Each structure stands twice: as structure tokens, then as C-alpha cells.
Amino acid sequence: MLFAFFSNAQQLLFKTYAVEDGLVSNPVRRIYQDSKGFIWIATWEGLSKYDGNRFTNYTIANGLSHNIVNDLYESSDGKIYVAENNGTVDILQRDAIIKKAAFHDVVINRFCITQNQGVIAVTDTNGLHEIKNDNLVKPKQSFPGSTYNDLKELNDSLLIGGCNGSLRILNRQFELFSEIELPGEPLIFKIYKDSGNKIWAGTNNGLKLVSFLQKDDQLPRLTLSPLPFNIPILNNCIVNDMLKDDNGNFWVATTNSLVKIYPGGNYQQFSEKDRLPSSNITCIYQDKEKNIWIGTMLGVTKLVTKNDIRIYSTGNGLKLKEDNFLLSFKGDLFLTDAETGMQLYNITNGRLSSVSSQHNLFYKGFVQNSRPVLFYSNLIASALCLLIKKVIYGWEHGITVYTVFIIKIQKINPILIYLYRTFQVWYRIKIFVACLKTVKATSG
């Protein structure tokens, strides 16, 4: 695990792809990975396929029926179904459009893939449809003219769909089972079922947590529950998407920022100042390699999460110095030095705590591979630097020492020091201190 300690969050955590990198258009609507590992990016002006090196683009200029792509999915035989905002669906296979306008006159907002690999299409003002044997079929249903923006499976027998102003539970015959009308009749952009079977709804009036209740022999009903974390921005913002990664972190896409919520309830917001191309986050997707892809209005960004990069700043309680050290301690603890002394970070609960020093010294570093760990203080380091400067001055009269960049103590106290001087010439001086008595200088 890699921890980064900085005074602010303006670090290169994200790799962004935009038009200048080959993306067909910057405003992103959906992200999808097919069975071969290719990343498909649906935008307002076409469709891009990314192979890890370059983009292949599809627009009306090379065969798409319409440039605004709402959603896409891959069938079991490797065909890519592309739903476009003019009511058509094109089919691609082996990088070619094999069937243009395979379906038409139905605006599909999103595809829902069920556990048994069925495909349900949620539409704009045309209810729910199914794709069966390469045909778009409209089954009998309770609300044939409704607009649905998303649909998820609750269990083997029930579905939950997001309409304008309400959430509906439907059985597999698309009959109404239960319904909850949300206060203010918000638009529902996303329904998300996490690994703990909690149901979340992203709306234009904040993030909602939905509970599915059943008492005795009564019919199940939906109710809103308080959010388990106190994050004011999520109470009334526009929430476009969300996901829960394998580490238990929630990622929430809003029009104001990307919000990452840690298991302990702490959270962090990312925006342009953190090198995202835009604060308007449209979608989030986690691929098979556990990379998180973030769609924005100004490009798509990839965050590689294998090392779980985190930023801790003064806002997290860290008292920063310019030359911090970081020491792994007892597996789930990390020790670092700070302006007010050493601090201990617990990765399990996310807490920082101060560590007192017996001698009230501010430590500059520790001896690598020492057991128990040996620390050296600012006083010792200053004395060693003075000793080094005197030795260097006597060894080569006139040498100018500008900055000491690295001091590293190993085993029997060898010190490796790098010096920078006039004319951009590097001199490497190795000084071995044996038992703090004998000093021998050699040029590198």
C-alpha cells in the first residue's frame, strides 16, 4: 500500500484522456469494458474504443446512426449493442458496424443485464423492453408509457426501477409490487445495489439510501433511511453515479466533485485542483483489473487502484514538515515525523495520533533494517553535517556546499551524501564513519 503525505491534494493521481489523446469527444456519458478487455466510452458526439494504446472512434461519419450514445452492452456472442439518443440501436462486431438501426423508434436510456444474462432496456416514455433472439420486445406491464432511467435486480423475483419522482418494485412480469414516492419528486439518475445488498439512489436532490421492509405477512414496502455518513455535499447535490470498490470505499459522482468515502466514514473530494479534467463527474466504472475509470464533461480519467493511493494533508490532522520519513510499524500502523513530533497513523480506523518522545527530540530519520528501530534526531544530524562539511573543505579547498539532499544511515553508520555546486556538476562523496571515531573520505 502506498501512502502519500502532502500539504495539498494537487498530485498526479489521475491519467486523463481527452480529444487531443484520440478520444472522440470530451463529454462522457457511459464507460463499459467488454469480454476482451477493451474499454468503450460513450460520449455526446460518438463512441470510442480504447485498447490500452489508442482509440478507435465511431460517429455518423463512419456508420453510427446518431452521435449521442446513451448506453451499450456486449451480447454472449461478442456483439456490441449501441443505444443512441434518436431511438436507434446499432450493432458492432469485430470493429465494424454489422447492422445499422437494428432497433428504432425506442429511446433506450440504459441496458440492465440480469443474473441469468437477460437484457432489459429501460426507455424514455416507452416503459420496459426486453431483447430476445436479437429482437426488441415490449412485454405486458403495469406502466407501459413510463420513463425509466435505471433498473436493478433486488433478488431472483423482484426488480427496482427509477422513474421521475418515485422508485418502483416490480415482479418479473413487470407488475407493480411496491412503490415509494420521493419528496420533491426528484429525477432518479442511478440505482445502485452494493455488495451488502443496500440500495442507493442517485438523484438531482442528493444521494438516497432505500430500505426494503417487510413485517409478518404484510406486503414489502420501500422507505428512505438516513445516510450512514455525514457528508453535507451529498444531501442536495446532483448524483450521477456511484460504486463500491473491493476495499470497501464508496465513490460518488456528482456535478460538483468526485467523492471518495472510506469505510470508517472519512471522505475526500476530488476536482480540477486534484488534476481531474472537470468537477462535473458523469459516471464511474471499475474494470476487471480493478482500475477505476471516471467520466467527466471534459474527458475520461483512469485511476489505478492496485496500490490504493491515498492523500493525507493538514485537513486530515497531519502536521507536515518538508522532510518527512515514513515507517511501517506492526502491519497496520505507519509512523511519520511532523512539526510537533512523530505521529502514528492507523490504516484500520484512519486515525492519526501523536507519539511522545522521551527526550523531546525531533527525529530526522531512522536506521534502515535496525531491530529495534534506531532513530536519529535533528541534533545528531546537524552535528554530522558539520563534520562532513569540515572534512570536505579540508579535502578539496574551495568546494562550495549548497544543499544536502539525502542523508542515509546504514548498519555501521555509512552516510551517503549528494552535493550540488556551481556549473551543475554533481559530486558524490562517500564518508564511512566507523564507530564514530575513524573517518575516511573517498571521491565517487
Termini Cα distance of the chain: 35
What confidence category does residue 9 fall into, taking pLDDT thresholds of 50, 70 and 90? very low
Q: How far apart (Å, rounded) are the C-alpha atoms in residues 368 and 414?
A: 11
Q: Are 80 and 74 in contact (CB under 8 A)?
A: yes
Write down the pLDDT at residue 317: 55
**How far does CA 220 lie from the centroid of its chain?**
35
**pLDDT tens digits, 88-117:** 999 999 999 999 999 999 999 999 999 988
* Grid coordinates belonging to 52: 490500452
Q: How far apart (Å, rounded) are the C-alpha atoms in residues 28 and 258?
A: 15
* Class of domain 13-305 as given by CATH: mainly beta
Q: Is the pLDDT of residue 146 over 60?
A: yes
Q: What rounded mean pLDDT belongs to the chain?
A: 77
* Grid coordinates belonging to 413: 553508520
Q: Is the pLDDT of residue 396 over 50?
A: no
Write down the pLDDT at residue 103: 96
Q: Are 296 and 281 in contact (CB under 8 A)?
A: yes
Q: How far apart (Å, rounded) are the C-alpha atoms in residues 352 and 380?
A: 27
Of the candidate ranges 147-151, 164-168, 354-358, 380-384, the one whose mean pLDDT is the lowest: 380-384
What does the domain layout of the chain look like in residue ranges? Answer: 13-305, 314-372, 378-443
Write down the pLDDT at residue 160: 94
φ, ψ of residue 214 in degrees (nearest 5): -150, 125
Q: Is the pLDDT of residue 383 over 50?
A: no
Handedness of CA 174, 175, 179, 181 (dihedral sign): positive
Cis geometry, peptide bond prior to residue 372 (ω within 30 degrees of 0): yes
The residue type found at 253 is A
Write down the pLDDT at residue 398: 40
CB count in 10 Å sphere of residue 298:
17
Q: How far apart (Å, rounded) are the C-alpha atoms in residues 141 and 126?
A: 11
Q: Is the pLDDT of residue 8 over 60?
A: no
Task: Provide CB contacts within 8 A for 67, sequence distance 6+.
Answer: 44, 45, 46, 59, 60, 84
* Grid coordinates belonging to 17: 484522456
Q: Are 18 and 27 in contact (CB under 8 A)?
A: no
More confident residue, 429 or 356: 356
